[in-house]
Structure 1
Amino acid sequence: MTATLSAGSPDLTLPPTPLEVALAAVVERREEFRALGHVPRDVVDLFKAAGVYRAATPRRFGGDALPPAEFLGVVERIATADGSAGWVASFGSAQVYLAALPLETQAELFADGPDLCFAGGLFPIQPATPTERGFLVEGRWKWASGCMGADVLGVGIPGDPSTEGKPRTALLRPDQVEIVQDWDVVGMAGTGSYDVVVRGVEVPRERTFIRGGQPTVDEPLYRYPALAYAAQVLAVVGLGIGRAALDWAREVGGGGTGATGAPKLADRAYFRTAVAEAEARLRGARAFFYEAAEEAYATVLDGDPVTDEQNALLRLSATHAARAGSEAVRAVFDISGTNAIYSDHPLQPLVRDSMVPTQHAFLGPAMYDAAGAVLMGLPATVPAFR
């Protein structure tokens, strides 16, 4: 039976859904994720039971191929519970990349079921020697988020004339890859974005694909811009972290007096004002974000290609959402007093995690310029914009 994802509030009269079970585990174990440096496989299995890793699997292979906005809502809920868990869950969208593989290869990947966890260390692109069957792959790649729980891993290798110079991703089994647990960071410490090392493994050509390449699956989801979707699933993590900070502010605002005997936070005008302003900014960014996703997908369902302007709005709204989430956390931190600087304060993990989405290459300041150029009728000013 297919697990169903829902971004709505739980019905307390019914048994918990698989997603609610997963969320409860995330809340209980998020400090463990940070200490370990990754989300353990048993939690990834809970995400699988909730349908996270079939959300972008083609229907022809038993997946759900969910509309992007629906999946984004689920990642946002998980990220509100913990940023690292949301980041790892976000790669449930990665099957949109795998849709560029030959259908026979996809059938092999999903032979045991649609719940496939894919992780990739795509950069830096490492040279690969062409062979009669494919490519001899060797090298070290960074930022393989979620690799500890992955069923299949991808690494970046150069393209060739047949790919118009675009790089390929080569797929490997976990037993063909060494994971170097070197993830020592301030924010998103639980994502397990470790380095991966491959030593002289021959990868058949049919187990490689162009990231964002032409899909071989003819279903609506795979006509949605893949690179824009990759930016969205990371940006929505920022929205979730911002929501967690504002929820915390509202929860503690009605508490007792401060250490100096000052009025409780909710009785202070500056606190109420800052929370209200941050709430408005976050909700505004969130509305733009989901509106752009829904409009682009409606175009796909109508049988039309997503326009350059729609793609630019997807990228712009994602970049804006990531920034709005980070700014919401900072706004709450700024009004929370001296106690907020202690390392064990509830805001500290949110502050650290909120710094990460805005640092990602897909969500950096250059995206504003690129989106603005397209909206002005000019070419995008950055590569891999569409």
Structure 2
Amino acid sequence: MTQTLDSPTAAEGRSQAGAAFDRLLETVRGRRAEFEEKRHVPRDVIAEFKKAGIYRAGVPKRFGGDALSPAEFLHLVERISVVDGSAGWVASFGSSAIYLTALPLETQALLYADGPDVAFAGGLFPVQPAQRVENGYRVSGRWRFASGCKGADVLGVGIKSGADHSGRPLTAVLRPDQVEIIDNWDVIGMRGTGSHDLVVDGAVVPEEWTFVRGGEPAVDEPLYRYPTVPYAAQVLAVVGLGVARAALDHVIAQGGRSGYTGAPKPAERATYRIAVAQAEAQLRSVRAFFYETTEEVWATVEAGDPATPEQASLLRLASAHLARTTFEVVRAAYQLGGIGAIADGSPLQRYLRDASVVPQHAFLQEGMYDGAGAVLMGVQPFPGYL
């Protein structure tokens, strides 16, 4: 007998999923210092991500996945990022299963043969030349910024060989034993993401295990009609939203505490109250724009229509603006924290470091405003924007 959404079985499933997610948040809260120290999220925590449904969120329903709507998944990443930005960044790549839908259906069936909870990570750039061999490619090279690579079940790298596909590189999918991870993630922010380099030396990848990132999906479900590259920007931008929420909540809570000098409590100062209120308004406003745009585009693709270039551009604009604004909010919170914010024991210095990374990503830099402005005014944006 088919169960409805409101059936006891469905309700029990939602309750179990919620409990697993709550346990994940507690795990992240208890081990976030470990992520920073080790510079990656360990595999046993990735296993908790899987139990909470993070890695099945972007997997097609036909292969047992949840194929969550973008807003649903973004909310999950946001909540994790409130607890720890690095964990949120790694969790965001649960969405990368949407890229894998460009693989042949037979390949996807093999990929998910043991279940939909498959962690995929990769380094697409710099794209490396690959030698064409019988039924595939011989792959060698070094790639950067493979976030979450130490906990991945499969890894992807960017390759080119002969004629390309509309200027977009192929991604070759490999097993972890075919890839060497170069432990070189020495950075100031998002230290726990494990965004190390990948090295491959002559591995042969069958053609059916390659795909064009953002290429035509082999699965016809609403999620895979949602604009792929703008979604990739969204899942990263929303990490900054979570970090900013945590930073602002911290300075609000600190407002009732006395300072070192015996001066009035922060909450008793008009300048502190004004700054907190302005930051709150900034954060809520940019969050509303971000999710409003997400829901509008989702309604379009769920109805069976393709997203328009204007809609895809608004997603990119909302993401870049979110990344920039949330960094501004965190910077304001850091300044409100006063001299205590500089201590290693203060969470504000970690929030500032992590938030500073988000608008540095290529998908979220200042140039996105140029592309969005071009689309709004009906002129051609820079190559690769849409």
Corresponding residue for 2:78?
A: 76
Corresponding residue for 2:214?
A: 212
CA contact (8 A) 1:159 1:165 kept: no
Q: CA deviation at 1:342?
A: 2.1
Corresponding residue for 2:293?
A: 292
Corresponding residue for 1:100?
A: 102
- Report which stretch shifted further, 161-170 or 209-218: 161-170
Q: Measured at CA, do residues 3 and 368 of structure 1 come closer, stay the same or move farther in structure 2, by a change above 3 Å? A: farther
> How many pairs were matched up?
378
Corresponding residue for 1:55?
A: 57
Q: Measured at CA, do residues 238 and 139 of structure 1 come closer, stay the same or move farther in structure 2, by a change above 3 Å? A: same
**Residues in 1 aligned to 2:164 and 2:359: alpha-carbon distance in whole angstroms:** 34
**Partner letter of residue 103 of structure 1?**
L
Stretches (4+) displaced over 2 A: 1-6, 159-162
Q: Which secondary structure does the structure 1 equivalent of 2:128 belong to?
A: coil
Q: CA deviation at 1:158?
A: 1.3
Q: Measured at CA, do residues 193 and 253 of structure 1 come closer, stay the same or move farther in structure 2, by a change above 3 Å? A: same
Corresponding residue for 1:111?
A: 113
Q: CA deviation at 1:343?
A: 2.6
Q: CA deviation at 1:164?
A: 2.4
Q: Does 1:334 align with 2:331?
A: no
Q: CA deviation at 1:177?
A: 0.5
Cα deviation code 1:168-226 (max 9, x no counterpart): 00000011111111100000000000001111100001100000001110000000000
Q: Measured at CA, do residues 163 and 316 of structure 1 come closer, stay the same or move farther in structure 2, by a change above 3 Å? A: same
Q: CA deviation at 1:16?
A: 6.6
Q: Measured at CA, do residues 4 and 25 of structure 1 come closer, stay the same or move farther in structure 2, by a change above 3 Å? A: farther
After TM superposition, list the pairs within 5 Å mapping 1:116-265 onto structure 2.
116-158=118-160, 160-161=162-163, 163-255=165-257, 257-265=258-266
**Residues in 1 aligned to 2:228 and 2:18: alpha-carbon distance in whole angstroms:** 32
Q: Which secondary structure does the structure 2 equivalent of 1:126 belong to?
A: strand
Corresponding residue for 2:6?
A: none
**Residues in 2 aligned to 1:114 and 1:336: alpha-carbon distance in whole angstroms:** 44
**Residues in 2 aligned to 1:336 and 1:271: alpha-carbon distance in whole angstroms:** 10
CA contact (8 A) 2:120 2:153 kept: yes
Q: CA deviation at 1:264?
A: 1.2
**Partner letter of residue 161 of structure 1?**
A
Corresponding residue for 2:5?
A: none
Q: CA deviation at 1:253?
A: 1.1
**Partner letter of residue 377 of structure 1?**
G
Q: Measured at CA, do residues 4 and 73 of structure 1 come closer, stay the same or move farther in structure 2, by a change above 3 Å? A: farther
CA contact (8 A) 2:40 2:194 kept: yes
Q: Measured at CA, do residues 59 and 150 of structure 1 come closer, stay the same or move farther in structure 2, by a change above 3 Å? A: same
**Residues in 1 aligned to 2:152 and 2:218: alpha-carbon distance in whole angstroms:** 23
Q: Measured at CA, do residues 195 and 300 of structure 1 come closer, stay the same or move farther in structure 2, by a change above 3 Å? A: same
Q: Which secondary structure does the structure 2 equivalent of 1:94 belong to?
A: helix
- From 81, 87, 90, give the equivalent of 2:89: 87
- Report which stretch shifted further, 16-25 or 54-63: 16-25
For normalisation by structure 1, the TM-score amounts to: 0.95
**Partner letter of residue 287 of structure 1?**
A
Q: Does 1:20 align with 2:18?
A: no
**Residues in 1 aligned to 2:17 and 2:204: alpha-carbon distance in whole angstroms:** 48
**Residues in 1 aligned to 2:371 and 2:304: alpha-carbon distance in whole angstroms:** 26
RMSD: 1.8
CA contact (8 A) 1:3 1:51 kept: no
**Partner letter of residue 208 of structure 1?**
T
CA contact (8 A) 2:17 2:53 kept: no
Cα deviation code 1:57-81 (max 9, x no counterpart): 0000000000000100000000110
Q: Measured at CA, do residues 228 and 159 of structure 1 come closer, stay the same or move farther in structure 2, by a change above 3 Å? A: farther
**Partner letter of residue 70 of structure 2?**
P
Cα deviation code 1:27-68 (max 9, x no counterpart): 111010000000011111111000000000000000000000
CA contact (8 A) 1:212 1:227 kept: yes
**Residues in 2 aligned to 1:142 and 1:4: alpha-carbon distance in whole angstroms:** 42
**Residues in 2 aligned to 1:264 and 1:15: alpha-carbon distance in whole angstroms:** 42
After TM superposition, list the pairs within 5 Å mapping 1:323-362 onto structure 2.
323-362=324-363
Q: Measured at CA, do residues 15 and 63 of structure 1 come closer, stay the same or move farther in structure 2, by a change above 3 Å? A: closer
Corresponding residue for 1:319?
A: 320
- Report which stretch shifted further, 30-39 or 246-255: 246-255
For normalisation by structure 2, the TM-score amounts to: 0.95
CA contact (8 A) 1:5 1:51 kept: no
| Percentage of identical aligned residues | 60
CA contact (8 A) 1:4 1:51 kept: no
Q: Which secondary structure does the structure 2 equivalent of 1:100 belong to?
A: coil
Structure 2 stretches lacking a partner, 5+ long: 1-8
**Partner letter of residue 283 of structure 1?**
R
Q: Which secondary structure does the structure 2 equivalent of 1:113 belong to?
A: coil
CA contact (8 A) 1:340 1:348 kept: yes
Q: Does 1:366 align with 2:346?
A: no
**Residues in 2 aligned to 1:362 and 1:332: alpha-carbon distance in whole angstroms:** 25
Corresponding residue for 1:38?
A: 40
Q: CA deviation at 1:163?
A: 1.4
